[in-house]
C-alpha cells in the first residue's frame, strides 16, 4: 500500500489522502478474505494458547 501511495509523489496531505483511498479501493476482495482468514486463525491460536507469547505461526 505504501509504495502505491507514494508512487505519484503526493505533495500535500489532501493528495496523500486521495492516494491512500485509491490504493485501498484497489485491494481485491480475495486478498481481504485471505487477510481476514489469517487474522481469525491467529486469534484462535492465541485463545487456545491461553494468551501465551507466540511468534511464528
pLDDT tens digits along 28-56: 999 999 999 999 998 888 888 887 777 76
What whole-number distance in Å separates Cα of residue 57 and Cα of residue 34?
Answer: 15
**Residue 57 pLDDT class (50, 70, 90 cuts):** low
What whole-number distance in Å separates Cα of residue 25 and Cα of residue 17?
Answer: 12
pLDDT score recorded for residue 50: 80
- Buried b or exposed e, range 32-47, using 16+ CB within 10 angstroms: eeeeeeeeeeeeeeee
Is residue 4's pLDDT more than 70?
Answer: yes
42 neighbors 57 (Cβ within 8 angstroms): yes
pLDDT score recorded for residue 46: 85
Model pTM score: 0.62
Amino acid at each position: 500500500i505504501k509504495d502505491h501511495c507514494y508512487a505519484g509523489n503526493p505533495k500535500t496531505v489532501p493528495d496523500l489522502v486521495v492516494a491512500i483511498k485509491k490504493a485501498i479501493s484497489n485491494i481485491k476482495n480475495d486478498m481481504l478474505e485471505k487477510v481476514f482468514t489469517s487474522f481469525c486463525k491467529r486469534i484462535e491460536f492465541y485463545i487456545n494458547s491461553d494468551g501465551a507469547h507466540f511468534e511464528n505461526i
